[in-house]
Structure formats: structure tokens, C-alpha cells
Amino acid sequence: MGVSVVDSSVAGLGGCPYAKGASGNLATEDLVYMLTGLGIQTGVNLQKLLEAGDFICQALNRKTSSKVAQATCKL
């Protein structure tokens, strides 16, 4: 037994707007980074995912909640 499905969203966008103080969704970028660090192959190109998240955030005029995206942005 184990986890076969994990729910996340690019840049952590979404979540329940009615839940006061809710942090939103887990950023897919952070999930892929963690799984890769654990040696689990995801088949996801993290760099392309970060680029997609940046594109979506710019289009929506929103900030990413992805810690990986925030860290790589400062490099």
C-alpha cells in the first residue's frame, strides 16, 4: 500500500476562496522537486514546469506560492 495520487496545482493557484486563512493548493513545482529529491522519477521536466507557472502567474497577475519558483527566481 502507498500513495498513488497526489493533488497539486501549478504555482499553487486555486484553493477554496471561502476558507478564511487557507493557504491554497500544494504547488506542483514543489511536489516534483521533493519527489525528485527522494529519488522518485516523475517524468516531469521541472524547468518547463517552472516556466509554465511563471507564464500563468504573469497572465493572471498573481504571485506564485511555489517555494521552488521563488527560490530560483532569486538566483
Catalytic residues: 16
27 - beta bridge partners?
9
Q: Which residues contact 45 (CB under 8 A, 6 or more apart)?
A: none
Distance CA 38, CA 47 (A): 18
